[in-house]
Copies of this chain bind each other. A is one copy, B any other.
Amino acid sequence: MKTTARELADYMGAQVIGNPAAVIAGLASPESAAAEDLIYIDSPRFAKRAVASAAQCVLAIPGLEFPGKTVLAAAQPKFCFAKAAAWLFPPVPAHPGIHPSAVVALSANISVSAAVGPCAVIDDDVEIGEGTQVGALCSIGRGSRLGRNCRLYPRVTLYPGTKLGDGVIVHAGAVIGSDGFGYVFGEGRHWKFPQIGTVEIGDDVEIGANTTIDRGSLGATLVGAGTKIDNLVQIGHNVQLGANTIVAGLSGISGSCTIGSGTVIAAQVGIGDHCTVGNNVTMGGRTGVLPGKIVRDGAMISGFPSRPMERFKEQQGWVSRLPELAARVKKLERENPARK
A positions within 8 Å CB-CB of B: 27-29, 31-32, 76, 78-79, 81-83, 85-86, 89, 99, 101, 103, 117-119, 121, 135-137, 139, 141, 153-155, 157, 159, 169, 171-173, 175, 178-179, 181, 183-186, 188-194, 196, 204, 206, 208-210, 212, 214, 218-219, 226, 228, 230-232, 234, 236, 244, 246, 248-250, 252, 254, 267-268, 270, 272, 285-286, 288, 290-291, 304-305, 307, 311, 314-316, 318-323, 325-326, 328-329, 332-333, 335-339
Contacts and interface: CB of A to CB of B under 8 A. Distances in A.
A332 to B, nearest CB: 5
A175 B333 contact: no
Given A191-B83, A319-B315, A329-B329, A270 B288 contact: no
B285 A178 contact: no
A121 B154 contact: yes
Given A172-B139, A189-B226, A234-B231, A157 B155 contact: yes
A304 B210 CA distance: 26
A295 to B, nearest CB: 16
A228 B322 contact: no
A65 B76 CA distance: 62
A183 B82 contact: yes
A210 B210 contact: yes
